[in-house]
Amino acid sequence: MRYEDFYRQSIEQPEQFWAEQARLIHWETPPQQILDQSRPPFRRWFVGGTTNLCYNAVDRHLAHRAEQLALVAISGETGFTREFTYRELHREVNVFAAVLQQLAVGKGDRVVIYLPNIAEAVFAMLACARIGAIHSVVFGGFAAHNLALRIDDAQPKLLIATDAGMRGGKVISYKPLVDAALAESRSPPPHVLIVDRELDPLMTHMAGRDLDYASLRAQCRGAEVAVTWLESNEPSYLLYTSGTTGNPKGIQRDVGGYAVAMALSIRTVFDIAPGQVMFSTSDIGWQVGHSYNVYAPLIGGATSLLYEGLPTRPDPGIWWELCEKYGVRTMFSSPTALRVLKKQDPAWLKKYDLSSLQWLFLAGEPLDEPTARWITEAIGVPVIDNYWQTETGWPAITLMPGLDLKSVKLGSPGLPAPGYKIKVIDENSGEEVAPQQKGVLVFEPPLPPGCLTTVWRDDERYVVSYFSSFKDLLYNSLDWAIRDEEGYIWILGRTDDVINVAGHRLGTREIEESVATHPAVAEAAVVGVHDELKGQLPIVFATLKQDAGDGAAAIALAMQQCVVNRLGAVAKPSRVYVVNALPKTRSGKLLRRLLQALAEQRDPGDLSVLDDPAALEEIRRALARGPQLGG
In tens, the pLDDT along 138-192 reads 988 788 988 999 999 999 999 999 999 998 899 999 999 999 999 999 999 999 9
**Least confident stretch, 179-183, 266-270, 372-376, 603-607:** 603-607
Say whether 630 sits in a helix, a strand or coil.
Answer: coil
Does this chain's domain 3-309+386-455 share its CATH topology with 498-625?
Answer: no
What pLDDT is attached to residue 295? 98
**Environment class of 94 (CB within 10 Å of its CB; exposed 0-12, middle 13-18, buried 19+):** buried
How many residues in total does the chain contain?
631
Stated as kind and residue range, the H or E segment containing 338 is helix 335-342
pLDDT tens for each residue of 234-246: 999 999 986 555 6
What pLDDT is attached to residue 608? 61
Rounded to whole angstroms, what are the CA distances from 609 to 83, 427, 612, 617? 60, 19, 9, 15
What pLDDT is attached to residue 569? 86
What pLDDT is attached to residue 122? 98
Residue 631, pLDDT above cutoff 60: no
Cβ 100 vs Cβ 111: under 8 Å? yes
What pLDDT is attached to residue 106? 97
Residue 120, pLDDT above cutoff 70: yes
Question: What is the CATH number that goes with domain 3-309+386-455?
Answer: 3.40.50.12780
Q: Determine the Cα–Cα distance for residues 565 and 177; give it in Å rounded to an integer.
A: 10
Percent of the chain with pLDDT over 70: 97
Residue 352, pLDDT above cutoff 60: yes
Cβ 26 vs Cβ 300: under 8 Å? no
* pLDDT band at 213; cut points 50, 70, 90: very high
Rounded to whole angstroms, what are the CA distances from 95 to 98, 194, 401, 520? 5, 15, 38, 52
CATH class of the domain whose range is 498-625: alpha beta
Q: At what angle do helices 144-154 and 175-184 cross, to 10 degrees?
A: 50
Q: Determine the Cα–Cα distance for residues 408 and 398; give it in Å rounded to an integer.
A: 10
Q: Determine the Cα–Cα distance for residues 324 and 554; give it in Å rounded to an integer.
A: 49
Model confidence, pTM = 0.84
Domain borders along the chain are 3-309+386-455, 498-625
Give CA angle at 199 (195, 205), nearest 5°.
55
Residue 516, pLDDT above cutoff 60: yes
Rounded to whole angstroms, what are the CA distances from 293 to 118, 164, 219, 299, 337? 11, 21, 29, 11, 16
Per-residue burial over 545-583, b if 16 or more Cβ lie within 10 Å, else e, is eeeeeeebeebbebbbebbeebbbebbebbbbbbbebbb
DSSP tag of 295: I
Residue 585, pLDDT above cutoff 70: no
Say whether 578 sits in a helix, a strand or coil.
Answer: strand
Q: In 380-486, which ranges are continuous DSSP H helix?
A: 459-467
User: Other CB atoms closer than 10 Å to residue 214's CB: what's the count?
Assistant: 9
Cβ 516 vs Cβ 587: under 8 Å? no
Rounded to whole angstroms, what are the CA distances from 585 to 303, 497, 527, 588? 55, 16, 17, 5
Q: Determine the Cα–Cα distance for residues 380 and 92; give it in Å rounded to an integer.
A: 38
Q: What would you measure as the largest C-alpha separation in the chain, in angstroms?
A: 73
